[in-house]
Structure 1
Amino acid sequence: MLLGIGHALAQYLIRKLEHYTRLSSEEKESLDALARLRTRRVRARDDIIHEGDVPQFINLVLDGWACRYKTLEDGRRQIVAYLLPGDVCDIGAPILREMDHSIGTITAVTLAEIPLDAAEQLLMAHPRLMQALCWDALTAASIQREWTVNVGQRTAFERLGHLLCELFVRMRVLGLTRGSSCDLPLTQAEIADTIGLSVVHVNRTLQELRSTGFITLGGRELTIHKLESFERVVLFNQNYLHLSHEGRHLDADET
């Protein structure tokens, strides 16, 4: 999924932000120009930035999968978010001055490393972009709340099914699904670190999900059969992803 010169490097970020507000051609071009200033390729299952580091750039995922995670002193890890193409890894870090979590890759990832002063200049020049990125940050916080509910209240079956639905819907927003299928490059250990189960329990729950006929999972590909029915079974409601904003319906000149 590595993007070539003919592509808008910021295309996935633009697609996502346009769920919140329609962007003008100038705004899109400015975003893409910012993404082209400096790029970096990071290999799979490596760290992009560590807890305690002082960020020098805002990192934008151009392709591949990454995650936010926290690690305890004894090595136990909790994954607290997945970062997909178009996700800004650390937009708040320049304000906080120090990373309070680490960001690692799941697959090989291409990043745009956006200088802090360049990002500030862009947002000052284009207030609508600032508004859209604020909506995106609020949606990320909404996803975090849903993950708290997932770990605290849902059954293992519901937790895993809910996570699969969320990742599929987020990939669909980006145009990265293939009918009812999408990439799913997660190991069972990574899923376990996400939903608070042991690897053995994740394996057993995956078998249970497969037995229902709702999902097919193999070869790093997820297929969800009868998505709406599966959503009801695992108590998944898309409202926390905030995908029905005015941006889907308005032209840039109307906002």
Structure 2
Amino acid sequence: MTTIGAKENVTAIEPLLRLLSRYMPLDEADRAALSGLMVGTLLQREARTDIAREGDKPTVIRLLVSGWACRYKDLPDGRRQIVGFFLPGDFCDLNVYILSELDHSIGALTDVRYFEIQPHQFQEVIDARPHLTRALLWHELVTSGIQREWLLSIGQRSPLERLAHLFVELYYRLRAVDLVDDLAFDFPITQHHLAEANGMSLVHLNRTLQELRRAGLIELADRQLRIVDLDELKRVAMFKRSYLHFNR
């Protein structure tokens, strides 16, 4: 655990502030209200460990500050399906604390840092800041839209279309929080994670990656993904970015 002060915490939650500002402008009072929730302890978790497990009683709201995490479901025999990626600036289920128990698990794919916010403190802030509440609701609607696109990919897109769509989506989500350099971004997850997220075997996943490489659409090396031809990758994926609702 790392204890940080007010100035450091503004830097830590900058991805969240950038993300919410893509939906609607935030004034200084909104930004200060969010920052005020997160002065204190910044938690850390190592890669390949769980942040929360299915069946746990949710008592806090978690905000991912750095690293990548995932929402997943698993079967008794150990098979796992990743059903969502959490990137810096994402809440890990904003309203989950109203439930009696979690119906999914949250795992750290890389080393991560995150805040835990007490629900009553969060409620006090959004009650006092209706404009901020609207931005947070917008964020939750986008999360639901992403889930629908993932379901469409698993059910109807071909493996090539599915992987292309995920790469374009991650590009836009990371660009929204200023974590893209031109068309390249850190890509710290493994082929195993990609296979679990896309419903593919490792062999099929590797074959599909090679197909995207041979087509000159992506370069993936040294834990970095570079999109070589964004327009063509979007065409292959049949990607429509409207579900992300980035207005700014």
* Short-chain TM bin: over 0.9
Q: 8 Å contact 2:16–2:90 — kept in the other structure?
A: yes
Percent identical among aligned pairs is 43
Unaligned runs of 5+ in 2: none
Report which stretch shifted further, 227-236 or 203-212: 227-236
Select between 82-91 and 35-44 the one with higher mean Cα deviation: 35-44
Determine if contact 1:67/1:83 at 8 Å carries over to the other structure: yes
Query: C-alpha offsets along residues 27-86 of structure 1, whole Å, 9 cap, x if unaligned?
Result: 101111212233201111111011111122100001111000001111110000000001
Residue type at the aligned position of 2:225:
L
Three-state SS of the structure 1 residue aligned to 2:11 is: coil
Deviation at 1:204, TM superposition (A): 0.6
Match of 1:238 among 225, 238, 241: 241
Structure 2 Cα separation of the partners of residues 102 and 222 of structure 1: 27
In the alignment, which residue of structure 2 is the partner of 1:225?
Answer: 228
| Contact 1:181 1:222 (C-alpha < 8 Å) held by counterparts | yes
Q: Partner amino acid for 1:211?
A: R
> Do the aligned partners of 2:191 and 2:202 also contact (CA within 8 Å) in 1?
yes
| TM-score between the two structures when normalised by the length of structure 2 | 0.94
CA RMSD of aligned residues (A): 1.6
Alignment of 1:1-255 (within 5 A): 5=8, 7-244=10-247, 248=248
Compute the TM-score of the two structures, normalised by the length of structure 1.
0.92
Ranked by relative contact order (alpha carbons within 8 Å, sequence separation 6 or more), the top structure is 1
1:220 is displaced (CA, Å) by 0.8
Structure-2 separation of matches of 1:78 and 1:177: 27
Task: Report the Cα distance in structure 1 between the residues aligned to 2:12 and 2:193, rounded to whole angstroms.
Answer: 28
Task: Give me the whole-angstrom Cα distance separating, in 1, the residues matched to 2:76 and 2:182.
Answer: 43
Unaligned runs of 5+ in 1: 249-255
Instruction: Give the counterpart letter for 2:193 in structure 1.
Output: E
Q: For the residues of structure 1 that align with 2:98 and 2:79, how far apart are their CA atoms?
A: 28
Task: Tell whether the 8 Å contact from 2:82 to 2:197 is kept in structure 1 after alignment.
Answer: yes
Q: Does structure 1 conserve the Cα–Cα contact (< 8 Å) formed by 2:13 and 2:89?
A: yes
